Structure 1
Amino acid sequence: MMMRSHLRFVIVGLLFFVGCTSVKQDLESRNGFTVLPAPQKNEKVANFAGGCFWAMQECMLELKGVRKVISGYAGGWTKNPDYTAVSAKNTGHAESVQVYYDPAVISYEQLVSAFFYAHDPTQIDGQGPDLGSDYRSIVFYRSPQEYKIVRAVMDKIEHNHSYADPLLTELKPFEVFYPAETGHQDYYRIHSWEPYIRRVSKPKVLKMRSHVSALVRPEYLH
């Protein structure tokens, strides 16, 4: 009887885990690309680049106060790039995310802090095995105030010696964000058992959860 109850508990737990990690966003697509949603009332938008956008999208989605996160491309000069062109490293763009968040629940400063623990900001032009300028670390600030906040967060991280090496993240004024192909949205959740996701993406997500656990939705901390 005890064994049967234990088995039931394990099955329920697994179903709960799968349910939490497999929920996909309700996104509109057109011609194979995701359509950028409009921010809701009292909602703000932020943009970051920190290696493969599959992991970064998941990290940002797990934060309290974040409604949507779109994977895409930013920081370059080519208009309307696609994954093939960006991967060829001739567009100047980096794999990026656009985050829709409620500043009454999570501040821009907290969002930036989570970003710096969602990847390795000390590696230039790459993240782990993903090498090249399309995987570089960037914060795209939208105002002088946001720039000051980012600088303050970076100064705090370096003062606390959170990383052994100096931060190499670029700070660039936001210009334009191009949403990626539909197949790149929610990739972490849809393909959670792929070797790349388990070996490369998941450690980034777990690192972010451990460093800013107070900002993460409770269902992802069990």
Structure 2
Amino acid sequence: MKILRIPFLAIILLISANCQPKNSKAEKTVAQETSSVPVKVMLSSEDLQEYETAYFASGCFWCVEAIFESVKGVKEVHSGYSGGKEKNPTYEEVAYGRTGHAEAVEVFYDPKVISFTQLVQVFFGSHDPTSLNRQGPDRGAQYRSVAFYKNAEEQKIIQDYISLLETKKLYNRPIVTQVALFEVFYKAEEYHQDFERKNPYNSYIRNVSIPRLNRFKENFQSYLKEDSH
């Protein structure tokens, strides 16, 4: 389970601002770390209405968000919660298994550039769909594998792709991914959004999220945005 504390970078910034002399080694380190965080162009709610949406859950949403953000045709990704019945869940409630929700992502994409079928391929190609209620070090139903569909066409695309994977016998164990009708998505707290991009020195990001992203990139190079290679 991910345990959130005050980000290391934020602590260093606070110490630097109040306790360190100017031009100190600590300040230089902070400046280097801050400058390494890439700038992201933010889209308004009105801008996002022009695009289609897709919803997936496959473990830690920090990891999943970063993966879909790297895919061409994807305009924005939000981390959040879906698949349960409790209204307006909090991160603490979901993380400790107090709701039926899974950590999920909301993907805004341009269907002229990438199709829902290709997003399903990204989903299955970026996690272990045979792992029940677990991805990497994260355990619990909140980390389960779920491919959500909004209509019969999307449902068929997901089920057909699962059948294809099973026919090709790509896995030694049965696929346990849930295929579920999408009902509602609750956007996670703001500090979770773009967490990997904003916190590149976080230990979980460095040891779990970035390696997972890099494995995906190795296998899906043709799907990547130009600046994601």
TM range (shorter): 0.7 to 0.9
Q: SS state of the match for residue 146, structure 1?
A: helix
Residues 124-150 of structure 1, C-alpha deviations (whole Å, 9 max, x = no match): 011111000010000110001101101
Counterpart Cα distance in 2 of 1:196 and 1:100? 26
Task: Name the aligned partner's letter for residue 150 of structure 1.
Answer: I
Pairwise CA RMSD of aligned residues? 2.0
- Structure 1 residues 134-213: aligned runs within 5 Å: 134-213=142-221
Task: Name the aligned partner's letter for residue 220 of structure 1.
Answer: S
Extract unaligned runs of 5+ from structure 2: 1-31
Q: SS state of the match for residue 22, structure 1?
A: coil
Q: 65-74 vs 196-205, which deviates more?
A: 196-205
Counterpart Cα distance in 2 of 1:37 and 1:47? 19
TM-score, normalization: structure 2? Answer: 0.80
Counterpart Cα distance in 2 of 1:69 and 1:44? 12
User: How many angstroms does 1:37 deviate by?
Assistant: 6.4
Q: 145-154 vs 93-102, which deviates more?
A: 145-154
* 2:30 is the alignment partner of 1:22: no
Partner of 2:83: 75
Match of 2:64 among 53, 56, 76: 56
User: How many angstroms does 1:220 deviate by?
Assistant: 1.7
Q: SS state of the match for residue 105, structure 1?
A: coil
User: How many angstroms does 1:25 deviate by?
Assistant: 5.3
User: How many angstroms does 1:27 deviate by?
Assistant: 6.5
* 2:119 is the alignment partner of 1:111: yes
Identity of aligned residues (%): 41
State the aligned residue count.
196
Partner of 2:20: none
Residues 69-121 of structure 1, C-alpha deviations (whole Å, 9 max, x = no match): 00000001110001011112021000000000000100000001001112111
Counterpart Cα distance in 2 of 1:101 and 1:55? 18
TM-score, normalization: structure 1? Answer: 0.82
User: How many angstroms does 1:167 deviate by?
Assistant: 1.4
Counterpart Cα distance in 1 of 2:46 and 2:206? 29
User: How many angstroms does 1:23 deviate by?
Assistant: 3.0
Q: 63-72 vs 202-211, which deviates more?
A: 202-211
CA pair 155-52 structure 1, distance change in 2 beyond 3 A:
same
State whether residues 39 and 45 of structure 1, in contact with CA within 8 Å, keep that contact through their aligned partners in structure 2: no
CA pair 138-37 structure 1, distance change in 2 beyond 3 A:
farther
Match of 1:40 among 13, 32, 49: 49
State whether residues 25 and 186 of structure 1, in contact with CA within 8 Å, keep that contact through their aligned partners in structure 2: no
Larger-gyration structure (1/2): 2
